[in-house]
Structure 1
Amino acid sequence: MPTAPDFQPALSRLAATAPAWGLAIPVVGVALLAWSAQISIPIQPVPITAQSYVLLSLAALMGWRLAGITVAGYIAVGLMGLGVFSGRRGGLEILSTPSAGFIVGFLVAAVLVAVLQEKWARLRPLPLFGVLALGHLVLMAIGSGWFATKVGPALAFEKNFLPFIPGAVVKTVAALATVILVERAAGTPRPR
């Protein structure tokens, strides 16, 4: 039985139309990730930000190649010292903070969500919701796992996982709505 071709998300299709779009989309994505990092609830040890909403929405709209390039670019400019991380922080010292696991997890979660959207969810609402929720879960697990190496699993779970659950649910629903609305505005056919 033949398999269906991969779904091509709206921003991936746009990037394929002209090289300028292929460059502009990741640059705008990096800017959106940096901006969303500053929208935060300052809890300790890691603030709750709007970033995972933006990250996972972009991943589902970009496809895995653009999402990977965008998130790798975001991490690179942050590690080079630009203040793109939460609290306008940047530089290699971020790797010694409790936020480091989340920053590393951005790349894993973005590529995972993008691949699963292209190959499996294909804009179908329930599967896409599951993919976005999985992206949040993976991001939270990597972030908490990193912190657990410093403080132990129980404290990491209490401080770096549990507080993020309510926000992850809200951001997953918001990301689902955003992706569907953008895809509809881009003329993407309804999934079958």
Structure 2
Amino acid sequence: MKLSLREQLTAAIFAGVIAVFSQIIIPLGPVPLSLQTFIVGLTVTLLGRKTGTWAIIIYLLLGLIGLPVYAGAGSGIGAVLGPTGGYLVGFLFTGLLLGTLLKKVPLTFFWVILANLISFIVTLLFGSIWLKIANDLTWTAAMLGGFLHFLLPEIIKAIAAGTIGVLLLRRLPEKFLSSK
């Protein structure tokens, strides 16, 4: 996957934006409620699959090398292997899926919100599976605590990311954004 210098710089800037939004959290036990999925969705909505996914990869790598960019200033391999690791890994698949879906649908409010919601559900599934393994939970406990508990906030975030994304896509000059 080859990116132009502009796309690389845009991905790096948005990785920083993801890191900032990741610090906006509400602690709710082992998995906090944060704005990570919102900003991941908005990033991919604006930048497309290629550049948006690179922004997510850069963000994940920044945390892996020890910079406190994950939710609650988390970082390192311990954060990835801990209870929230599945959500972090899920962001990568969310970016790929969301970017792919957005290439196939009209960029209307309905379709962009729906694509964000479907992609956010992928993050929740990755997170719940990882939560089950990391905390040795039953499937019921993992799905209740890692999926259902976050479903309503993710619906709200999908609506926000899709709405803001469509509004910005309609208003920003096309040269600002990467190729979809």
- Give the counterpart of 1:167 among 143, 153, 163: 153
1:22 shift after superposition: 1.9
Q: Which residue of 2 aligns with 1:116?
A: 101
Partners of 2:45 and 2:98 within 8 A in 1: yes
**1:13-24 alignment to 2 at 5 Å?**
19-24=4-9
2:135 is the alignment partner of 1:141: no
Deviations 1:31-66 (A, max 9, x none): 111111110110011000011111011111111111
Structure with bigger gyration radius: 1
1:95 shift after superposition: 2.4
1:88 shift after superposition: 0.6
Distance in 2, Cα, partners of 1:52 & 1:21: 24
> 5+ unaligned residues in a row in structure 2: which ranges?
175-180
Q: Which residue of 1 aligns with 2:76?
A: 91
Deviations 1:103-152 (A, max 9, x none): 0000000111011101x123022222211110111110110011122312
1:175 shift after superposition: 0.7
TM-score in terms of structure 1 length: 0.84
Distance in 2, Cα, partners of 1:96 & 1:53: 22
Compared CA separation, residues 95 and 23, structure 1 to 2 (3 A): closer
Q: Which residue of 1 aligns with 2:23?
A: 38
Partners of 1:94 and 1:100 within 8 A in 2: yes
TM-score in terms of structure 2 length: 0.89
Distance in 2, Cα, partners of 1:141 & 1:102: 8
Deviations 1:148-167 (A, max 9, x none): 22312111112111121111
- Give the counterpart of 2:34 among 23, 26, 49: 49
Distance in 2, Cα, partners of 1:20 & 1:104: 26
In the alignment of these two chains, the number of paired residues is: 170
1:180 shift after superposition: 1.0
